[in-house]
C-alpha cells in the first residue's frame, strides 16, 4: 500500500434538484463514521456550493466546484472563475471531466488553461483524463491519456503537481454500469505515473495521487482500493446514495 493519502471525491453533477435535498446528502456524511485516513471532497452544482459548504460539520469533508473558466472576470455569460470559487472558500475544482470534453467540446488545451488559472487562484485541481471505448479497443488508452496530460504539463511547473489529483476515468465506464477491471485500472495508473516520471519528475510521479472513476460502487471499491497505484476514487451516481460512505471506507 502506498503512503499517498487516500482520496474519495463525490461528483454530484447536475444533482440534486433542491438545496434541501443537497443538505440531506451532507447530513448523511456528517453523521457517518468515515475513515480518518481518507480525504473526502464533495462537488455539488455551482448554485449549491455555499449552502453545502455551510452545511458540512465534519471537518474531514471539503468542497469542490465542478468547473471553472480560465478568465478571472469579464464578459463571459454563465461562467464562474477560479478566483470567485476561491473567494467563496471552496478549495477544489474538477477540470477536464469527460462530460465537459465531449458535451461542451473542451479541448486538451482549454482544460490546461483552466488548470493554470485554477492553480494561480490558489485552488487544488481534480484533473480528469480518460479514453473512449473506441480508443480503448484501438489500443490508444496510453496515447490519449498522455495527450491530455501533456497539455497540462506544458502549462505547469513541477511544484504545481502537489495541488493536482489526477482522476483516470475511462469514458466507457462512466454511468454505464461497466467498470474497468482492477488490472485494467492499475495498468493505466502505472502508465500515468510512468509518463509523469518522464515528463515532469520521478518525485511528482510517486507523490501525485491518481484516483479512479467510472461506475465505482460499494461492491467493487475494496478490490480497486487494494491496488498499489489506485489512490482513491471520483464517484458519480453512487455519491448520491448511502453507499458512498462504504466507498469512502474502502480501505478501512
pLDDT tens by residue, 166-193: 999 999 887 777 778 899 999 999 999 9
Total domains, the chain: 1
Domain contains 86: yes
Buried b / exposed e across 31-56, counting CB within 10 Å, b at 16+? ebebbeebbbbbbbbbebbeebbebb
Catalytic residue from among 97, 131, 146, 189: 97
Domain contains 202: yes
Rounded to whole angstroms, the Cα distance separating 73 from 83 reads 9
| Rg, the chain, Cα only | 17
- The domain spanning residue 97 has which CATH number? 3.20.20.70
At a CB cut-off of 8 Å and minimum separation 6, what does 241 contact?
none
Q: What is the pLDDT of residue 1?
A: 57
Domain contains 1: no
Pairing type for strands 92-95 and 124-129 reads parallel
Domain contains 168: yes
Domain contains 131: yes
Catalytic residue from among 99, 106, 169, 189: 169
Q: Answer yes or no: 97 catalytic.
A: yes
Q: What is the pLDDT of residue 214?
A: 87
Q: What is the average per-residue pLDDT within 82-100?
A: 98
In this model, does residue 198 exceed pLDDT 80?
yes
In this model, does residue 50 exceed pLDDT 60?
yes
Cis status, amide bond into 187, omega within 30 of 0: no
Q: What is the average per-residue pLDDT within 226-230?
A: 96
In this model, does residue 203 exceed pLDDT 60?
yes
Q: What is the pLDDT of residue 178?
A: 76
Rounded to whole angstroms, the Cα distance separating 203 from 148 reads 20
User: pTM of the full predicted structure?
Assistant: 0.97
Q: What is the pLDDT of residue 228?
A: 96
Q: Answer yes or no: 169 catalytic.
A: yes
Domain contains 179: yes
The angle subtended at Cα 136 by Cα 134 and Cα 142, nearest 5°, is 130
Q: What is the average per-residue pLDDT within 45-56?
A: 98
What is the band of 13 on the pLDDT scale with cuts at 50, 70, 90? very high
Domain contains 20: yes
Q: What is the average per-residue pLDDT within 51-57?
A: 98
Q: In this prediction, what percent of the chain has a pLDDT beyond 90?
A: 92
Query: The domain containing residue 99 runs over which residues?
Result: 6-248
Domain contains 133: yes
Amino acid at each position: 500500500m502506498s503512503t499517498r493519502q487516500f482520496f474519495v471525491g463525490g461528483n454530484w453533477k447536475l444533482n440534486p434538484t433542491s438545496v434541501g435535498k443537497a443538505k440531506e446528502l451532507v447530513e448523511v456524511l456528517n453523521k457517518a463514521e468515515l475513515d480518518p485516513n481518507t480525504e473526502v471532497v464533495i462537488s455539488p452544482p455551482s448554485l449549491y456550493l455555499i449552502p453545502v459548504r455551510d452545511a458540512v460539520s465534519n471537518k474531514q469533508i471539503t468542497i469542490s466546484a465542478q468547473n471553472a473558466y480560465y478568465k478571472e472576470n469579464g464578459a463571459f455569460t454563465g461562467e464562474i472563475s477560479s478566483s470567485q470559487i476561491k473567494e467563496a472558500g471552496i478549495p477544489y475544482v474538477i477540470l477536464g471531466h469527460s462530460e465537459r470534453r465531449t458535451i461542451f467540446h473542451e479541448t486538451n488545451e482549454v482544460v490546461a488553461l483552466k488548470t493554470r488559472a485554477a492553480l494561480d487562484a490558489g485552488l487544488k485541481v481534480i484533473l480528469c483524463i480518460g479514453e473512449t471505448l473506441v480508443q480503448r479497443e484501438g489500443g490508444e488508452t496510453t496515447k490519449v491519456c498522455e495527450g491530455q496530460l501533456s497539455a497540462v504539463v506544458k502549462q505547469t511547473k513541477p511544484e504545481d503537481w502537489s495541488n493536482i489529483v489526477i482522476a483516470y476515468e475511462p469514458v466507457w465506464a462512466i454511468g454505464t454500469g461497466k467498470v474497468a477491471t482492477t488490472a485494467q485500472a492499475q495498468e493505466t495508473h502505472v502508465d500515468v505515473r510512468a509518463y509523469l516520471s518522464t515528463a515532469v519528475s520521478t518525485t511528482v510521479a510517486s507523490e501525485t495521487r491518481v484516483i479512479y472513476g467510472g461506475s465505482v460502487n460499494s461492491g467493487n471499491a475494496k478490490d480497486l482500493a487494494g491496488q498499489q497505484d489506485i489512490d482513491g476514487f471520483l464517484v458519480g451516481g453512487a455519491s448520491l446514495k448511502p453507499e458512498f460512505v462504504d466507498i469512502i471506507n474502502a480501505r478501512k
